[in-house]
Amino acid sequence: MPSAARDIPERNGNNNTGADISRTVSNSFGTLDNLSTSPTATFHSPASSYGGLRNPSTKQLKPFHTEDIKVLLLENVNKTGQEILRKQGYQVEALKSSLPEDQLIEKIRDVHVIGIRSKTQLKASVLKHAKNLIVIGCFCIGTNQVDLKYAAENGICVFNSPFSNSRSVAEQMIGTIIVLARQIGDRSNELHRGEWNKVSAGCWEVRGKTLGIVGYGHVGSQLSVLAEAMGMKVIYYDVVNLMSMGTSAQVHSLDELLQQADFVTLHVPELPETMDMISTHQFEQMKQGSYLLNASRGSVVDIPALIEASKAGKLAGAALDVYPNEPGGNGQHFNNDLNSFTEDLRNLKNVVLTPHIGGSTEEAQSAIGVEVADSLVNYVNLGTTSGAVNMPEVKLRSLTLDEPNHLRVVYIHKNVPGVLRRVNEILGDHNVDKQMTDSRGDVAYLMADISNVNTSEIKTLYQSLEDLGSRIRTRVLY
Ligand SMILES: NC(=O)c1ccc[n+]([C@@H]2O[C@H](COP(=O)([O-])OP(=O)(O)OC[C@H]3O[C@@H](n4cnc5c(N)ncnc54)[C@H](O)[C@@H]3O)[C@@H](O)[C@H]2O)c1
Ligand SMILES: O=C(O)CC[C@@H](O)C(=O)O
């Protein structure tokens, strides 16, 4: 089977039209709209909308038989995404869990596309086995689980969904703040065990309390608006200056936020700088009887220090949605084998533990499925990198059906002097209709549509580009 990225492609006989692949997902509960207040009554999956393919005059580029494209989807990627990829004719294998590293390496060897969520680690040690891989789709916000630099330097483009689950996380945080303030988790557990324990001591309204948001991006700023609507005062800390929502206010340092907030909630990405961002010193700065919430990444909080702060009564409660090590799939155990502190954590009072579900709503997962699958199809079929997290963003207007002898060249190369001159010497034997190039760090991405190309010339053109020392990956779409 030809490598989609490197071998000379064959023209595809598949007659997919825009109509085949455009999606209008209707609401199967639509007829109940006027009768039911069920959430499903207002739920619609977003429509898929990849650039240009819906227009019947658009020429669909096919670098290969689409059924040769192998896609591996892990971690229960939503069916909206699976359907979009299957409708392209790609061979899609979808698994519910992540895979242990040895099995992942076996599977990744011959796939062209992989889709993951937050659990699957695509480090260089795994990616080096992925000889055919051209693109990774993270069906989530976080991309810390992928070695983005290694991927770019090896011509593997990475996409994510930057905000489709932000609202879901913010809503979970609002619910959890109230659950903590009223000790609802403990009361519910007691009653499940048959114990009636009607108390008001240490239970509070959230109105008038101060919420400190660390990381005021997509999630943090949504949460800010919701919290103010409940009468909370909002302060936030971020490494960049940002516009305040409502009457919230940015503070100058993390310590300042910790000293003022009754509830501290973390919404920063996993970075070297955010590792153990909340540890013993930070707990010392927090107000007596305050609360900590973390739905960002498990590495951001030093959990043994949190356990100490909780046992010492410094914290009145905490909520964790993320952990340094998380189980690979549902049904697997959450115990000390995963994280040595787990048993201690489970025994703490007023500590809400959730299994990384901040973004797990029907709305978010359905939207993410469509968004990321669209990006993957756009990249595989058209070479478009709009929204990529590790490559320059390059997009060319679509070719049309009255441009039959055109082909699109995608050339991913090292960002070094003299490459464009050499590439254009090769392309210059033809008419270069349009060309765009951009760089990001050490990697550059060139896309060109050239006309008056005979099929017999494609192989030579492809090989000439492959032979340049600057080449990372060449793709020819026609
Ligand atoms: N629990 C879940 O299911 C879930 C769902 C979505 C996102 N997340 C996690 O939440 C994180 C935040 O999501 P988002 O969409 O709001 O991201 P975002 O990129 O929109 O916002 C992150 C913010 O953090 C700020 N930041 C970065 N480093 C910082 C530092 N050292 N100190 C203070 N601020 C810093 C950034 O400037 C940015 O404003 C994601 O990276 C992801 O890891 C978890
Ligand atoms: O769905 C997931 O696995 C991850 C959710 C969240 O942490 C994200 O990064 O979007």
Could you identify the atom of ligand 2 that is nearest to the CA of residue 118?
A: 3
Specify the pLDDT at position 196.
98
Q: Which residues contact 458 (CB under 8 A, 6 or more apart)?
A: 8, 407, 476, 478
Ligand 1 centroid – CA 74 distance (Å)? 23
Ligand 2 centroid – CA 173 distance (Å)? 15
Pocket mutation for ligand 1, best pick of 267, 274, 297 (most atoms within 8 Å of C-beta): 267
Residue 10's nearest CA partner among 51, 68, 54, 56 is 68
pLDDT of residue 252 exceeding 50, the answer is: yes
What does pTM read for this prediction? 0.89
| 172 Cβ below 6 A of ligand 2 | no
- Binning pLDDT at 50, 70 and 90, where does residue 53 land? very low
**Once rounded to an integer, what is the mean pLDDT over residues 120-143?**
98
Task: Report how far residue 39's alpha carbon sits from residue 27's, in angstroms, rounded to the nearest whole number.
Answer: 12
Over residues 19-46, the pLDDT tens digits come to 222 222 222 223 333 344 456 666 677 7
- Binning pLDDT at 50, 70 and 90, where does residue 405 land? confident
Cβ-count burial 395-404 (b if 16+ within 10 Å, e if not): bbebbeeeee
pLDDT of residue 238 exceeding 80, the answer is: yes
Could you identify the atom of ligand 2 that is nearest to the CA of residue 359?
A: 5
| 117 Cβ below 6 A of ligand 2 | yes
| 98 Cβ below 6 A of ligand 2 | no
Which sequence positions are flagged as catalytic?
Answer: 297, 326, 356
Return the higher-pLDDT residue of 477 and 258: 258
Over residues 136-186, the pLDDT tens digits come to 999 999 999 999 999 999 999 999 999 999 999 999 999 999 999 999 999
If DSSP states are collapsed to H, E and C, what string results for the chain? CCCCCCCCCCCCCCCCCHHHHCCCCCCCCHHHCCCCCCHHHHCCCCCCCCCCCCCCCECCCCCCCHHHCEEEECCCCCHHHHHHHHHCCCEEEECCCCCCHHHHHHHHCCCCEEEECCCCCECHHHHCCCCCCCEEEECCCCCCCECHHHHHHCCCEEECCCCCCHHHHHHHHHHHHHHHHCCHHHHHHHHHCCCCCCCCCCCCCCCCCEEEEECCCHHHHHHHHHHHHCCCEEEEECCCCCCCCCCCEECCCHHHHHHHCCEEEECCCCCHHHCCCECHHHHHHCCCCEEEEECCCHHHECHHHHHHHHHCCCEEEEEECCCCCCCCCCCCCCCCCCCCCHHHHHCCCCEEECCCCCCCCHHHHHHHHHHHHHHHHHHHHHCCCCCCCCCCCCCCCCCECCCCCCEEEEEEEECCCCHHHHHHHHHCCCEEEEEEEEEECCEEEEEEEEECCCHHHHHHHHHHHHCCCCEEEEEEEC
Could you identify the atom of ligand 2 that is nearest to the CA of residue 360?
A: 1
Return the higher-pLDDT residue of 398 and 239: 239
Among all ligands shown, which has an atom nearest to the Cα of 118?
2
Could you identify the atom of ligand 1 that is nearest to the CA of residue 220?
A: 16
Specify the pLDDT at position 22.
25
Ligand 1 pocket at CB < 6 A: 141-142, 165-166, 169, 214-220, 237-240, 267-271, 273-274, 295-297, 321-322, 356, 358-359
Percent of the chain beyond pLDDT 90? 81
Residue in the structure block whose two tokens are 């979970």: 172
Task: Report how far residue 334's alpha carbon sits from residue 327's, in angstroms, rounded to the nearest whole number.
Answer: 7
Could you identify the atom of ligand 2 that is nearest to the CA of residue 296?
A: 7
Among all ligands shown, which has an atom nearest to the Cα of 169?
1
Specify the pLDDT at position 46.
75
Q: Mean pLDDT of all residues in the chain?
A: 90
Ligand 1 centroid – CA 332 distance (Å)? 27
Ligand 1 centroid – CA 59 distance (Å)? 39
Task: Report how far residue 368's alpha carbon sits from residue 364's, in angstroms, rounded to the nearest whole number.
Answer: 6
Task: Report how far residue 75's alpha carbon sits from residue 435's, in angstroms, rounded to the nearest whole number.
Answer: 38
Task: Report how far residue 451's alpha carbon sits from residue 404's, in angstroms, rounded to the nearest whole number.
Answer: 8
Task: Report how far residue 63's alpha carbon sits from residue 14's, in angstroms, rounded to the nearest whole number.
Answer: 12
Protein residue with least CA distance to atom 8, ligand 1: 296
388, 158 in Cβ contact below 8 A?
yes
- Binning pLDDT at 50, 70 and 90, where does residue 9 land? very low
The token pair that represents 376 in the structure block = 């993957």
297, 144 in Cβ contact below 8 A?
yes
Q: Return the number of other C-beta atoms located less than 10 Å from residue 288's C-beta.
A: 9
Pocket mutation for ligand 2, best pick of 356, 361, 363, 372 (most atoms within 8 Å of C-beta): 356
Specify the pLDDT at position 478.
81
Protein residue with least CA distance to atom 38, ligand 1: 217
Q: Which residues contact 254 (CB under 8 A, 6 or more apart)?
A: 214, 237, 277, 282
Over residues 297-323, the pLDDT tens digits come to 999 999 999 999 999 999 999 999 999
Instruction: Please classify residue 332 by burial: count the beta carbons closer than 10 Å to its beta carbon, then call 0-12 exposed, 13-18 middle and 19+ buried.
Output: exposed
The token pair that represents 445 in the structure block = 């991405």
Among all ligands shown, which has an atom nearest to the Cα of 243?
1
